[in-house]
Amino acid sequence: MGQLIVFLTLLALGYGFGRLAESRHYRSIIAREDALRSLLVLPDRMPPIQFQNHASTLVTGSVVISVDYFKTVAAGLRGLFGGRVGAYESLLDRARREAILRMQEEAQSLGAEAVFNLKFETSRIGQNAGQGLGSVEVLAYGTALIPAPVSASAASVVAR
Amino acid sequence: MLISNMEVVPGKKIATHLGLVQGSTVRAKHAGRDIMAGLKNIFGGELKGYTELLSESRDEALQRLSEQARALGANAVVNVRFSTSSIAAGASEIFVYGTAVIVEDR
């Protein structure tokens, strides 16, 4: 009986706080995505010719997001029946978008115009990684192309 | 040291290939952070401590990569890739590798 009460309390806490954290996170993601829309992020391997006078540097963004108790239980139940695990889909979606945003923020602080060759790296961390998802780390990285102020005249010569 | 994950460097040509360079680091979190992470697994949300830890380790791995490249006489590392693996409970390895090159202005 005691165990059941603990379980239900954890489930309720996980549901309440997890929902709250998720909706707050999505609001912040959507607002920042709107603000950073002008900074291009492409998975293309080669930049087009217009970028040939830009300086390039590696930019990264990473985030570690934890599951909540409700999601762990919901995904465990889903594991019995099979099918889409919506609880984990939204978790990974949040983590990826957050990682891209942090990478874009770094690129923007360097004055970059675009980020090329975007790559993702996802890994699972945490001591309970064997049982459930635990927490997930997403890293997004790419090459930021920064317009060089010195070669601005050279760029205009090339453009002509 | 120019570090990039593209195969080419815009506006420059690759004069010499110096081969693979790598950097890695294994980091563990301290017990206090693990307890906090355990609590977070109930409530959900971002684990800021882990985010910081992993980005610090990544910076260190990149530092080692560029030291190795500098020792070879390179001025750039291209085609950089990251890889993360959890090798034991509470410890993860961050590995970064790339090609050391000498680039010249076109």
Cβ separation A22–B42 shorter than 8 A: no
- pTM assigned to the model: 0.86
- State whether residue A111 is helix, strand or coil: coil
Number of domains making up chain B: 1
Q: Which domain holds residue B81?
A: 2-105
The tokens of A14 are what?
């996980």
Q: pLDDT confidence of A109, banded at 50, 70, 90?
A: very high
- Specify the length of chain B in residues: 106
CATH number where B78 lies? 3.30.110.70
Cβ separation B51–A143 shorter than 8 A: no
Number of domains making up chain A: 1
- State whether residue B42 is helix, strand or coil: helix
Lowest mean pLDDT among A35-44, A148-157, B30-39: A148-157
Cβ separation A21–B43 shorter than 8 A: yes
Give me the mean pLDDT over the A18-23 stretch.
89
Q: Considering only CA atoms, which of B28, B21, B38 is closest in space to residue B102?
A: B21
Cβ separation B90–A51 shorter than 8 A: no
Strands (E), B1-90: 2-3, 12-28, 44-46, 76-88
Q: Which domain holds residue A97?
A: 2-159
Any B CB within 8 A of A69 CB: yes
Which residue shows structure tokens 């001591």?
Answer: A127
Chains A, B: CB contacts under 8 A, how many? 135
CATH number where A149 lies? 3.30.110.70
Q: Considering only CA atoms, which of A136, A113, A3, A119 is closest in space to residue A66?
A: A136
Distance CA B21, CA B11 (A): 23
Search chain A and give the residue with CA nearest B39: A68
pLDDT in the model for residue A105? 95
Search chain B and give the residue with CA nearest A51: B10
Mutation site for B-interface testing, chosen from A127, A136, A141, A151 by largest number of B Cβ within 10 Å: A127
Q: Is the pLDDT of residue A159 over 70?
A: no
Residue A155's Cβ-side half-sphere holds a number of Cα atoms within 13 Å equal to: 16
Distance from the Cα of B53 to chain A's closest Cα (Å) equals 10
Q: pLDDT confidence of B64, banded at 50, 70, 90?
A: very high
Any B CB within 8 A of A21 CB: yes
Cβ separation A137–B54 shorter than 8 A: yes
Query: Cβ contacts (< 8 Å) between B66 and chain A: which residues?
Result: none
